[in-house]
Amino acid sequence: MKKYFITGLLIWIPLSITFMVLAWIVGTLDQIIEWLPDGLQPRHALGFNIPGAGLVVGLLIVLATGLVAANVIGQKLVRYWEALLARIPVVKSLYYGVKQVSDTLFSSTGQAFRKALLVQYPRHGSWTIAFLTGAPGGDAANHLKGDHVSVYVPTTPNPTSGFFLMMPKEDVIELDMSVDEALKYIISMGVVAPAVRSARPRPALLSE
């Protein structure tokens, strides 16, 4: 009896958590509908709400923004908008800080979160998974001797919080696993281990 109960839990727990997360995402994005004028909202036209309508509208807004920003006129509008934001002290710091991080993370040529690493943390002899985020910069780089890399060490089971570290390059081991596999490994607290692959030559951590 206990065996069957545990088997049922193993099926329903991940399903329930997945549906809860999806429901939260859809419910949050449905708030976008409130931005529309009352006459254009589905509940006024149809008499009832349509779950997921905000998600569709959000995707259309993002797609339309990308299409507009991809042409010459759109690029000029983006530059004008950024110049306007640059005149607002607090908004300028916040916007450009977030923009720099997002450009680094989503750039096809960037190194951020492109490689999973094995590092010793929080003490020598204890190993954990980390992600390469780049190389130390600013005045911090002037005080570091030798080659160093910047890494992000996520916490488990919530990888959105963690620690930023600058470590000697020789103390970092590049892993033969994708970022998705490493994230699953972290979120599962080591239960879902990635498959072992055959060893093959790896490129340098930071390409010149």
134/99 same-domain check: no
Cis peptide before 157, with omega less than 30 degrees from 0?
A: yes
* pLDDT reported for residue 116: 93
Tell me how far apart the alpha carbons of residues 116 and 181 are, in angstroms, rounded to a whole number: 9
Question: Which of 91, 109, 127 is the endpoint of a domain?
Answer: 109
User: pLDDT tens for residues 71-130?
Assistant: 878 788 888 888 888 888 777 777 777 776 666 666 655 556 778 999 999 999 999 999
101/147 same-domain check: no
155/167 same-domain check: yes
Q: Helix 2-29 vs helix 53-69: angle between axes, to the nearest 10 degrees?
A: 50
The parts of the chain modelled with pLDDT lower than 50 are 208
Tokens 């998705």 belong to which residue? 180
* pLDDT reported for residue 108: 58
Cis peptide before 122, with omega less than 30 degrees from 0?
A: yes
* pLDDT reported for residue 148: 94
Q: How many CA atoms lie within 13 A of 189 on its CB side?
A: 3
* pTM attached to this predicted model: 0.57
Number of domains in the chain: 3
Which residues have C-beta within 8 Å of that of residue 50, sequence separation ≥ 6?
42
Domain assignment of residue 160, yes or no: yes
Domain assignment of residue 25, yes or no: yes
* pLDDT reported for residue 45: 62
Domain with 98 in it:
71-109
* pLDDT reported for residue 208: 47
Domain assignment of residue 208, yes or no: no
141/180 same-domain check: yes
DSSP string over 6-57: HHHHHHHHHHHHHHHHHHHHHHHHGGGGGGS-GGGSHHHHHSS--TTHHHHH
132/176 same-domain check: yes
Domain assignment of residue 173, yes or no: yes
153/93 same-domain check: no
147/95 same-domain check: no
